[in-house]
Amino acid sequence: MSKLEYYVMTYNINTREMEWENLFGHAYVYEASVRLARKFLRDKKSFKYKDYWDNVVYTGWDAYIKHLRIIMLSVWSKVEYEISVGPPFPRDTDNFEKIDWYDQIIRNINIVGREVIRHVKELNHERKTASSSV
Protein backbone atom coordinates (compact mmCIF):
# COMPACT_ATOMS: atom_id res chain seq x y z
CA MET A 1 0.00 0.00 0.00
CA SER A 2 1.24 3.44 -0.81
CA LYS A 3 1.38 6.00 1.94
CA LEU A 4 -0.44 9.29 1.49
CA GLU A 5 2.17 12.02 1.75
CA TYR A 6 2.27 15.77 1.32
CA TYR A 7 5.09 17.52 3.10
CA VAL A 8 4.99 21.04 4.50
CA MET A 9 7.77 23.03 6.10
CA THR A 10 7.56 23.75 9.80
CA TYR A 11 9.76 25.02 12.59
CA ASN A 12 10.34 22.75 15.58
CA ILE A 13 10.59 25.00 18.63
CA ASN A 14 12.14 22.21 20.70
CA THR A 15 15.04 21.47 18.35
CA ARG A 16 15.10 25.00 16.88
CA GLU A 17 15.33 23.58 13.37
CA MET A 18 13.29 23.69 10.19
CA GLU A 19 11.64 20.34 9.45
CA TRP A 20 9.43 18.80 6.82
CA GLU A 21 6.29 17.19 8.21
CA ASN A 22 3.72 15.01 6.46
CA LEU A 23 0.35 16.75 6.48
CA PHE A 24 -1.39 13.38 6.45
CA GLY A 25 0.52 12.26 9.53
CA HIS A 26 -2.16 14.15 11.44
CA ALA A 27 -5.06 11.79 12.13
CA TYR A 28 -7.90 14.27 11.60
CA VAL A 29 -6.60 15.55 8.26
CA TYR A 30 -5.96 12.01 6.98
CA GLU A 31 -9.25 10.47 8.15
CA ALA A 32 -11.44 13.40 7.09
CA SER A 33 -9.75 13.60 3.66
CA VAL A 34 -10.16 9.86 3.02
CA ARG A 35 -13.80 9.94 4.19
CA LEU A 36 -14.48 12.90 1.87
CA ALA A 37 -12.83 11.21 -1.13
CA ARG A 38 -14.84 8.01 -0.56
CA LYS A 39 -18.06 10.03 -0.47
CA PHE A 40 -17.05 11.89 -3.64
CA LEU A 41 -16.13 8.67 -5.50
CA ARG A 42 -19.49 7.06 -4.69
CA ASP A 43 -21.36 9.67 -6.75
CA LYS A 44 -19.26 12.36 -8.41
CA LYS A 45 -22.06 13.97 -10.39
CA SER A 46 -24.40 14.61 -7.47
CA PHE A 47 -21.63 15.63 -5.05
CA LYS A 48 -22.40 19.19 -3.92
CA TYR A 49 -21.10 22.05 -1.85
CA LYS A 50 -23.31 25.04 -1.02
CA ASP A 51 -21.45 28.29 -0.45
CA TYR A 52 -23.86 30.27 1.69
CA TRP A 53 -21.72 33.39 1.64
CA ASP A 54 -21.81 33.77 -2.14
CA ASN A 55 -25.04 31.78 -2.55
CA VAL A 56 -23.44 29.42 -5.07
CA VAL A 57 -23.77 25.66 -5.36
CA TYR A 58 -20.68 23.81 -6.56
CA THR A 59 -20.88 20.29 -7.97
CA GLY A 60 -18.46 17.52 -8.88
CA TRP A 61 -14.74 18.22 -8.62
CA ASP A 62 -15.23 21.86 -7.61
CA ALA A 63 -17.45 20.78 -4.71
CA TYR A 64 -14.90 18.17 -3.63
CA ILE A 65 -12.12 20.79 -3.58
CA LYS A 66 -14.30 23.24 -1.61
CA HIS A 67 -14.91 20.55 1.03
CA LEU A 68 -11.21 19.64 1.09
CA ARG A 69 -10.29 23.29 1.70
CA ILE A 70 -12.47 23.24 4.82
CA ILE A 71 -10.64 20.18 6.14
CA MET A 72 -7.33 21.94 5.55
CA LEU A 73 -8.49 24.88 7.68
CA SER A 74 -7.72 22.66 10.69
CA VAL A 75 -4.02 23.50 10.13
CA TRP A 76 -4.62 27.21 9.54
CA SER A 77 -3.06 29.87 11.73
CA LYS A 78 -1.81 27.69 14.57
CA VAL A 79 1.53 28.79 15.89
CA GLU A 80 3.00 25.29 15.70
CA TYR A 81 2.26 25.25 11.97
CA GLU A 82 3.72 28.68 11.15
CA ILE A 83 7.07 29.79 9.77
CA SER A 84 8.42 33.20 8.83
CA VAL A 85 9.73 33.73 5.32
CA GLY A 86 11.71 36.71 4.18
CA PRO A 87 14.77 37.97 2.32
CA PRO A 88 17.95 35.85 2.62
CA PHE A 89 20.01 38.49 4.46
CA PRO A 90 17.56 40.80 6.23
CA ARG A 91 18.57 43.89 8.17
CA ASP A 92 15.29 43.75 10.07
CA THR A 93 12.27 41.46 10.32
CA ASP A 94 9.74 43.91 8.85
CA ASN A 95 9.91 42.16 5.47
CA PHE A 96 9.07 38.73 6.85
CA GLU A 97 5.77 37.08 6.06
CA LYS A 98 4.00 34.48 8.17
CA ILE A 99 3.33 31.30 6.22
CA ASP A 100 1.38 28.47 7.80
CA TRP A 101 0.58 24.99 6.57
CA TYR A 102 -2.66 26.14 5.01
CA ASP A 103 -0.78 28.68 2.88
CA GLN A 104 1.56 25.93 1.69
CA ILE A 105 -1.28 23.50 0.94
CA ILE A 106 -3.89 25.75 -0.64
CA ARG A 107 -1.72 26.67 -3.61
CA ASN A 108 -1.61 22.97 -4.51
CA ILE A 109 -5.08 21.92 -3.35
CA ASN A 110 -5.97 20.30 -6.69
CA ILE A 111 -2.86 18.12 -6.51
CA VAL A 112 -3.57 17.22 -2.88
CA GLY A 113 -7.16 16.35 -3.80
CA ARG A 114 -6.04 14.19 -6.72
CA GLU A 115 -3.56 12.32 -4.50
CA VAL A 116 -6.16 11.65 -1.81
CA ILE A 117 -8.47 10.16 -4.46
CA ARG A 118 -5.64 8.05 -5.88
CA HIS A 119 -4.87 6.80 -2.37
CA VAL A 120 -8.52 5.88 -1.71
CA LYS A 121 -8.74 4.01 -5.02
CA GLU A 122 -5.66 2.00 -4.02
CA LEU A 123 -7.18 1.26 -0.61
CA ASN A 124 -10.41 0.09 -2.28
CA HIS A 125 -8.47 -2.12 -4.70
CA GLU A 126 -6.47 -3.69 -1.87
CA ARG A 127 -9.65 -4.32 0.12
CA LYS A 128 -11.28 -6.07 -2.87
CA THR A 129 -8.14 -8.12 -3.53
CA ALA A 130 -7.89 -9.18 0.12
CA SER A 131 -11.56 -10.16 0.36
CA SER A 132 -11.46 -12.17 -2.89
CA SER A 133 -8.44 -14.17 -1.73
CA VAL A 134 -10.21 -15.34 1.46
- The structure's pTM equals 0.84
Phi-psi bin for 120: left (phi > 0), alpha (psi -120 to 50), beta?
A: alpha
- 2 or 79: whose pLDDT is higher? 79
For the chain, give the mean pLDDT.
89
Instruction: Read off the pLDDT of residues 57-110 as tens digits, 9 standing for 90 and up.
Output: 999 999 999 999 999 998 877 777 788 888 888 777 778 888 888 999 999 999
Percent of the chain exceeding pLDDT 90 equals: 58
Sign of the dihedral defined by the CA atoms of residues 81, 99, 32, 21, in that order:
negative
pLDDT value for 106: 93
Question: Which pLDDT score is estimated for 2?
Answer: 61
